[in-house]
């Protein structure tokens, strides 16, 4: 049985900003990961699981409470 590995991703709550974030590229998105507010719309950023896309409310979790994927260290 192989374990699912996922990342904690910081994303904007507004779906309209998704296109702006995709255009940034991985380097800039990684640099913006520590932001509390979205640089495009100023809404609060959330942390989500890269495997299932569900919001993670405690960034200290080692596993996703929704899909069970283990987060990268």
Count the Cβ atoms, other than its own, within 10 Å of residue 13. Answer: 13
| Predicted local distance difference test score (pLDDT) of residue 26 | 80
Rounded Cα distance between 31 and 68, Å, is 27
Residue-level pLDDT, tens digit, the chain, 73 residues: 457 899 998 888 888 888 888 888 888 877 887 899 998 999 999 999 999 999 999 989 999 999 999 999 8
30-47 tens-digit pLDDT: 788 789 999 899 999 999
């Amino acid at each position: 049985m192989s374990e699912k590995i996922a990342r904690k991703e910081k994303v904007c709550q507004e779906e309209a900003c998704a296109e702006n974030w995709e255009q940034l590229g991985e380097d800039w998105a990684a640099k913006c990961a520590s932001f509390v507010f979205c640089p495009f719309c100023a809404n609060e950023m959330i942390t989500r699981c890269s495997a299932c896309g569900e919001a993670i409310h405690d960034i200290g979790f080692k596993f996703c409470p929704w899909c069970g994927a283990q987060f990268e260290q």
